[in-house]
Each structure stands twice: as C-alpha cells, then as structure tokens.
Chains A and B, each alone.
Chain A
Amino acid sequence: RKEVEQDPGPFNVPEGATVAFNCTYSNSASQSFFWYRQDCRKEPKLLMSVYSSGNEDGRFTAQLNRASQYISLLIRDSKLSDSATYLCVVKGAGNNRKLIWGLGTSLAVNP
C-alpha cells in the first residue's frame, strides 16, 4: 500500500460545481497534512494546511479524519482558474522532516 494515495482523476466539472477530493495515508502516527496545488509545468504551491478541527479558506474546505486516515478537500463554486493538479502531502511522524507526496488529482473546470 502506498503511503499516500489519491484518485488521479481527471475530474472534469462545469464552472460553479462543487468537487471533492479524498486522500488516504497509511501511517497512523502522521502529524501534519497539507494540500498543494500545481499548475501545468509549474512548481507546487501550498494551498492550505489541514487541521484536526477542519479549516476553510474562502471556497476551499479541508477536513481530516484521523480514525479513517484520510483527508479531504472540497472546492465550492469552481472557477476555470481552479484547473490544476491537487497534491496531498503528509509529514512523517515525530521529528521526521520528510514530506510524503501523493501523486495528485487532476481537476479540469470547464466553461
């Protein structure tokens, strides 16, 4: 089993749709979780950190379910500019400084 797994998609949605991505992780001791966004031929950039209590940033909501070992990202009212690959990232347990990256989920928002 991969350490971090994501559905690769692609997800094709119309503008204005709500879309959700899930990501599962294998190490129950993992401590920190992130969603990154990567545009085509560009570097990844942090979209949001994922906190135990869940967090929201505008149209984006991230949730963490420790019992089931998954994190989710919800995008409401999708925009064309949301088209990108969304990467789930999990930091190793304890003092491990390595970040473990999912393969990414591709989203295409269509007019």
Chain B
Amino acid sequence: DVKVTQSSRYLVKRTGEKVFLECVQDMDHENMFWYRQDPGLGLRLIYFSYDVKMKEKGDIPEGYSVSREKKERFSLILESASTNQTSMYLCASNTGIVTEAFFGQGTRLTVV
C-alpha cells in the first residue's frame, strides 16, 4: 500500500513563527503536492514538485515556500505564520501524468 505520511495531525503555532510541515511518501513517486483545504473553498494547490529540487507554484503560493531535497520528502514552510494560514494542509503524491493521487492524513494548523 502507498503510504503518505505527514509529520503532525494537529499543530498550534504563534503568529510570526516559522512553521515546517513535513511529508514523506514511500512509493518512489516523482510528483508531490501541497494543498490547503478550507470550508467553502475546497482544495487549493499551494506548490507542487515533479522532481527532486524542482518546484512549481500552484494557485496560492504567497506566504509559503517548499523544499524537496530528496525524492521521498516534500516540506512546506510558512516563513512567518499568520492567522489567515489557519487551515487543513494536505500533502499528496503520484507518479506519471495520469495516475491516482494519494494523500497524507492532513495537518490541521491553527495560528494564534
């Protein structure tokens, strides 16, 4: 079974903190994605990567950065957390161009 693991289920951080969300997949997938999901707004793509050290902006990259130093790991960084970044963050991975995306269990981040 494909496993996508996010480092935390719940996180509470203070405004202005630097926040790292980690995602690891064990199926050698080349594509990895970070989304946030908010009520009424659905899944919105923040960044994605289709190879090590490669990254592309999604629809809402402002306030975020990413790192992909190893194929299995894709990190999302909130440089200076703000309250409007309180959300559910979902990591996903897949392979090729037309395949199923597998998701991690999500990290519910609250910024206070």
Q: Assess A87 versus B43: contact at CB under 8 Å? Given A43-B103, A45-B103, A46-B100.
A: yes
CB distance from B65 to the nearest CB of A (A): 19
Partner of A44 from B43, B48, B98 at Cβ < 8 Å: B43
Residue of B nearest to A34 (CB): B100
B48 engages A97 (CB within 8 Å)? yes
Residues of A within 8 A of B50 (CB): 97
Interface size on B, residues (CB 8 A): 19
Contact A104 B31 (CB under 8 A): no
- Cα separation A54 to B24 with both chains bound (whole Å): 34
Shortest distance from the beta carbon of A88 to any chain B beta carbon, whole Å: 10
| Chain A residues in 8 Å Cβ range of B101 | 46, 99
Residue A103, interface by CB 8 Å: yes
**Given the known A-B contacts A43-B106, A44-B103, are A95 and B42 also in contact in the complex, defined by CB atoms under 8 Å?**
no
How far is B101's CA from A98's CA once the two chains are assembled, in angstroms?
Answer: 10
Chain A residues whose CB sits within 8 angstroms of the CB of B31 once the complex forms: 97
For A49, the chain B residues whose CB sits under 8 A away are 100
- The DSSP consensus for interface residues of chain A is loop
CA distance A97 to B33 in the complex (A): 10
Contact of A95 among B43, B58, B97 (CB under 8 A): B97
Q: Are A103 and B41 in contact (CB under 8 A)?
A: yes
Bound Cα distance from A103 to B41, whole angstroms:
7
Question: How far apart sit A69 and B58, CA to CA, in the bound complex (Å)?
Answer: 24
Could you tell me if A98 and B58 are in contact, using CB atoms closer than 8 angstroms?
Answer: yes
- Report the minimal beta-carbon distance from A96 to chain B, rounded to whole angstroms: 8
B76 on the interface (CB 8 Å rule)?
A: no
Provide the bound-state CA to CA distance between A31 and B106, in Å: 28
Give A61-98 as 1s and 0s: 1 = Cβ < 8 Å from B's Cβ atoms: 00000000000000000000000000100010001011
Report A62 CB to chain B, min CB distance, Å.
14
User: Complex: how many Å from CA A46 to CA B42?
Assistant: 16
A34 surroundings in chain B (CB, below 8 A): 100
